[in-house]
């Protein structure tokens, strides 16, 4: 079910920039802002991302040691 959001006190400069970007994409301002809100809503917050990485790495076993990484890190610079 769709719902509405009202954003008050948007500066004219911000409104104009968003309207310009929307026009360049052939979209209405409403379509453009809705798509941007969807993008933001679907992005992970940094703490969520970090937690996912921690869970994933906790379940993975790696044969690459820190020492190996450091040893090979600069090999292409030689």
For residue 5, being part of any structural domain is answered with no
For residue 67, being part of any structural domain is answered with yes
At 36-78, the pLDDT tens digits run 999 999 999 999 999 988 888 888 777 788 888 888 887 876 5
**Total domain count, the chain:** 1
Give me the domain span that covers residue 49: 12-77
For residue 3, being part of any structural domain is answered with no
Question: Which segment of 11-20, 25-34, 43-52 scores lowest on mean pLDDT?
Answer: 43-52
For residue 26, being part of any structural domain is answered with yes
Smallest CA-to-CA distance from 33 within 73, 4, 58 is with 4
Instruction: Copy the structure tokens of residue 60.
Output: 């993975």
For residue 61, being part of any structural domain is answered with yes
For residue 33, being part of any structural domain is answered with yes
Query: Tell me, what's the pLDDT at 35?
Result: 97
Q: Write the burial class of residue 29 (CB in 10 Å: 0-12 exposed, 13-18 middle, 19+ buried).
A: middle
């Amino acid at each position: 079910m769709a719902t509405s959001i009202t954003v008050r006190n948007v500066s004219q400069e911000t409104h104009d920039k968003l309207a310009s970007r929307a026009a360049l994409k052939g979209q209405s301002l409403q379509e453009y802002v809705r798509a941007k809100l969807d993008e933001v809503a679907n992005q992970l917050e940094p703490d969520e991302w970090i937690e996912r990485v921690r869970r994933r790495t906790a379940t993975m076993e790696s044969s690459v040691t820190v020492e190996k990484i450091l040893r090979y890190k600069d090999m292409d610079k030689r």
